[in-house]
């Protein structure tokens, strides 16, 4: 396996380099040659000698672990050796995606002619008593739809459709699922599975509408506001200067000491820095970096716990296992991060800031958020519909949007243009959003399996054991198996939404 591992190491170095360059661009706004770095990696992947090496290993009689290693590298390199048409299309898609992400990054929303940041819009949606002002802020987000369409968003959709067809796949959704080692039928039962829970969701939303805004139903511009009413403690001002100690002490409960890991935090806002939250997995087990933008609100610890979860995950992987680590599913990664992010509502973490008087509101919030998260399936499915239907104009997309949300949740269409394009995934990460949702399903499964195995009702009862369970049952074997296989190995059952819903 030596020559294959050598090749994987070279590829890994290029990825590490790209990751470092991206970190600089996101934290300081400088581009020290990202396009050049991508070009170098493309050339490496297109190199016939490298492909032949992988094919040579593919023909060998190997043990199951090595077989899996070869499979992972083969899946990475194969698309670059099928046809010139595919490589040309790939390049065109790459270029168009970059152009459009520039539009997304530089665009600023306006309310009454005045520029507002995404964080400010989120604050209005969460805190503003005046429903009309909230509505105005909500629809400010649709201002990016047209510039993005004018920049070629629909062309990009069509290029991806063309690529999937040239690859020989039914459509781009199936193509992406195949690339991510997921069954093409993975979403088939979602609508039916969700259906019985939509009434519960809508009833709960109606109840909150009457309780907090004296209306019969919640509109999209009421959601964040109502949440701030259910759990006002989330908006409590806290001192963030000691964030590292709180986070470190929390992870010690699980037997994990982040002092031993090389995790860099850049958590306060400044000019030319991205406004969102990320983990940059620079190099597994060697270097992990966290970008966030916090402003002394308790709920922002949720982001720090989630992103630190990614960092911890990276350091619990074996840095020598470069190939297997590349085979870890994005669903597992997000699931583990969400698992730790969820402790925002658990006494194990909130005891640093509150006494048990917040217990009730946090429990109510957690329960409601879990139910309300079902609405995110609307975003996931809209992404699919874009590639399953003929799209000629923004109006075609709006019609799909209203049809889909009508079918899923019984929503009625409104006159304004729905905000959708502001969510960067439609442009930069197509057919990806399910990772977050399925990550949560995975997270629920892990907890249920752990509770049963250790005869407890919460992780907080045996955090050390839970840390060991996570490392041995999930993290260690996670590169060895495709996501659905791993899920079945741990739970003894196939992946389904029932783990989340029941
Ligand atoms: Zn994440």
Neighbours of ion ligand 1 (CB under 5 A): 337
Yes or no: say if 298 and 349 are a contact pair by the CB < 8 Å rule: no
The answer, yes or no, to whether residue 424 has pLDDT greater than 90, is no
Give distance in angstroms: CA of 487 to centre of ligand 1: 19
Is the predicted pLDDT of residue 119 greater than 90, yes or no? no
Query: How is residue 330 written in tokens?
Result: 């994005």
Output the CA 333–ligand 1 centroid distance in Å: 7
pLDDT of the residue at 355: 95
Which H/E stretch holds residue 462?
Answer: none
Domain range enclosing 463: 242-356+438-475
Q: What's the CA-to-centroid distance between 439 and ligand 1, angstroms?
A: 9
Per-residue pLDDT for 462 more than 80?
yes
Grouping H, G, I as helix, E, B as strand and the rest as coil, residue 389 is coil
20-62 residue pLDDT tens = 998 998 888 888 988 889 889 999 999 999 999 999 999 999 9
Residue 117 has pLDDT above 90, yes or no: no
Q: Does residue 332 lie in a domain region?
A: yes
265 CA to middle of ligand 1, Å?
A: 15
pLDDT of residue 28: 87
Residue 248: predicted pLDDT: 97
**Average per-residue pLDDT in the chain?**
94
Q: How far is the CA of 433 from the centre of ligand 1 (A)?
A: 11
Picking from 81, 114, 130, the residue at the C-terminal end of a domain is 81
The mean pLDDT of 112-129, rounded to a whole number, is 89
The rounded distance, in Å, linking the Cα atoms of 364 and 386 is: 35
More confident residue, 272 or 109: 109
Cα-to-centroid distance, 132 and ligand 1 (Å): 33
Q: What percent of the chain has pLDDT over 70?
A: 100
Percent of the chain at pLDDT above 90? 86
Structure tokens at 377: 């399936």
Boundary of a domain, candidates 81, 104, 127? 81
DSSP-assigned states of every residue in 121-156: HHHHHHH---HHHHHHHHHHGGGGHHHHHHTTHHHH
CA of residue 73 to ligand 1 center, whole Å: 24
Query: What separation in Å is there between the alpha carbon of 262 and the centre of ligand 1?
Result: 18
pLDDT tier at 209, thresholds 50, 70, 90: very high
Q: State in Å: Cα 131 to ligand 1 middle.
A: 31
Tally the domains of the chain.
Answer: 2
Ligand 1 centroid – CA 331 distance (Å) = 10
Ligand 1 center from residue 421 Cα (angstroms): 20
Q: Is residue 299 part of a domain?
A: yes
Cα(86) to centroid(ligand 1), Å: 30
Ligand 1 centroid vs 388 CA: distance in angstroms? 27
Residue 341 CB-density burial (10 A; 0-12 exposed, 13-18 middle, 19+ buried):
buried
Tell me the mean pLDDT in the region 169-182: 96
Distance CA 498, CA 502 (A): 5
Q: Give 334 Cα–ligand 1 centroid separation in angstroms.
A: 5
Dist. CA 293 → ligand 1 center (Å): 15
The CA distances from residue 48 to 31, 55, 83, 173, in Å, are: 30, 10, 12, 28
pLDDT of residue 273: 81
Domain assignment of residue 408, yes or no: no
Q: Residue 481: is its pLDDT beyond 80?
A: yes
Secondary structure string (H, E, C) spanning 10-62: HHHHHHHHHHHHHHHHHHHCCCCCHHHHHHHHHHHHHCHHHHHHHHHHHCCCC
Residues 198 and 371: their CA atoms lie apart, in Å, by 9
Q: How confident is the model at residue 277 (pLDDT cuts 50, 70, 90)?
A: confident
Residue 291 lies in a domain: yes
Q: How far is the CA of 311 from the centre of ligand 1 (A)?
A: 10
pLDDT at 293 over 90: no
pLDDT band (50, 70, 90) for residue 303: very high
With bands split at pLDDT 50, 70 and 90, how would you rate the model's confidence at 403?
A: very high
Could you say which DSSP state residue 474 is in?
I
pLDDT at residue 107, rounded to an integer = 85
Span from the CA of 308 to the centroid of ligand 1 (angstroms): 9
Q: Which residues face 110 on adjacent strands?
A: 115
Mean pLDDT of 91-98: 87
Whether 27 is covered by a domain: the verdict is yes
- Checking if the pLDDT of 387 tops 90, the result is yes
pLDDT at 169 over 80: yes
User: What is the pLDDT at residue 183?
Assistant: 96
Is residue 32, in this structure, part of any structural domain at all? yes
pLDDT of residue 151: 97
CA of 47 relative to ligand 1 center, distance in Å: 33
Q: How far apart are CA 369 and CA 345, in angstroms?
A: 11
Three-state SS string over 294-331 comes to: ECCEHHHHHHHHHHHHHHHHHHHCCCCCHHHHHCCCHH
Cross-strand partners of 280: 289
Residue 404 lies in a domain: no
How far away, in angstroms, is 315 Cα from ligand 1 center? 15
Is the confidence at residue 342, as pLDDT, over 80? yes
Look at residues 22, 57, 81 and tell me which one is the last residue of a structural domain: 81
* Cβ contact 284:324 at 8 Å: no
* Ligand 1 center to 31 CA (angstroms): 24
pTM: 0.92
Residue 256 lies in a domain: yes
pLDDT of 63 above 80 = yes
Residue 105 has pLDDT above 80, yes or no: no
Predicted local distance difference test score (pLDDT) of residue 280: 92
pLDDT at residue 440 greater than cutoff 90 = yes
Q: How far apart are CA 307 and CA 431, in angstroms?
A: 22
SS3 (DSSP) at 267: strand
């Amino acid at each position: 396996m030596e020559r294959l591992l050598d090749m994987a190491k070279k590829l890994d170095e290029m990825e590490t380099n790209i990751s470092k360059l991206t970190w600089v661009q996101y934290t300081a706004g400088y581009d020290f040659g990202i396009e050049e770095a991508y070009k170098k990696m493309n050339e490496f992947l297109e190199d016939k000698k490298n492909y032949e090496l992988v094919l040579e290993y593919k023909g060998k009689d190997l043990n199951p672990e090595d077989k899996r290693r070869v499979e992972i590298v083969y899946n990475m390199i194969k698309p670059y050796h099928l046809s010139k048409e595919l490589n040309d299309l790939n390049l065109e898609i790459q270029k168009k995606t970059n152009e459009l992400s520039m539009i997304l990054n530089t665009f600023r929303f306006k309310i009454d002619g005045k520029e507002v940041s995404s964080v400010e819009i989120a604050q209005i949606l969460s805190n503003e008593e005046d429903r009309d002002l909230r509505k105005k802020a909500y629809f400010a987000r649709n201002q990016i739809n047209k510039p993005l369409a004018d920049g070629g968003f629909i062309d990009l959709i069509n290029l991806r459709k063309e690529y999937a067809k040239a690859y020989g796949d039914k459509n781009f959704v199936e193509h992406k699922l195949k690339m991510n080692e997921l069954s093409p039928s993975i979403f088939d039962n979602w609508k039916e599975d969700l259906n019985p829970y939509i009434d519960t969701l809508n009833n709960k939303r109606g109840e909150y509408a009457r309780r907090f805004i004296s209306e019969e139903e919640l509109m999209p511009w009421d959601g964040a506001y109502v949440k701030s009413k259910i759990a006002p403690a989330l908006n409590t001002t806290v001192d963030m200067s000691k964030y590292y100690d709180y986070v470190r002490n929390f992870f010690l409960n699980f037997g994990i000491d982040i002092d031993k890991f090389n995790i860099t935090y850049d958590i306060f806002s400044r000019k030319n820095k991205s406004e969102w939250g990320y983990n940059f997995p620079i190099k597994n087990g060697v270097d992990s970096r966290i970008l966030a933008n916090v402003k002394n609100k308790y709920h922002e610890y949720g982001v720090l716990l989630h992103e630190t979860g990614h960092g911890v995950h990276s350091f619990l992987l074996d840095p020598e296992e470069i190939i297997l680590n590349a085979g870890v599913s994005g669903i597992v990664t997000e699931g583990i991060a969400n698992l730790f992010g969820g402790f925002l509502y658990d006494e194990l973490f909130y005891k640093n800031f509150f006494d048990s008087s917040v217990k009730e509101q946090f429990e109510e919030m957690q329960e409601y958020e879990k139910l309300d998260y079902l609405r995110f399936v609307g975003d996931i499915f809209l992404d699919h519909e874009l590639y399953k239907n003929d799209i000629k104009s923004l109006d075609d997309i709006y019609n799909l949007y209203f049809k889909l949300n009508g079918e899923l949740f019984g929503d009625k269409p409104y006159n304004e243009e729905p905000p959708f394009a502001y969510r960067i995934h439609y442009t930069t990460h197509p057919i990806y959003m399910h990772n977050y949702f399925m990550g949560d399903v995975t997270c629920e499964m892990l907890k249920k399996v752990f509770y049963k195995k250790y005869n407890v009702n919460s992780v907080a009862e045996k955090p050390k054991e839970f840390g060991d369970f996570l490392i041995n049952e999930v993290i260690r074997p996670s590169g060895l198996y495709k996501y659905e296989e791993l899920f079945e190995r741990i739970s003894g059952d196939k992946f389904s939404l029932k783990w989340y819903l029941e």
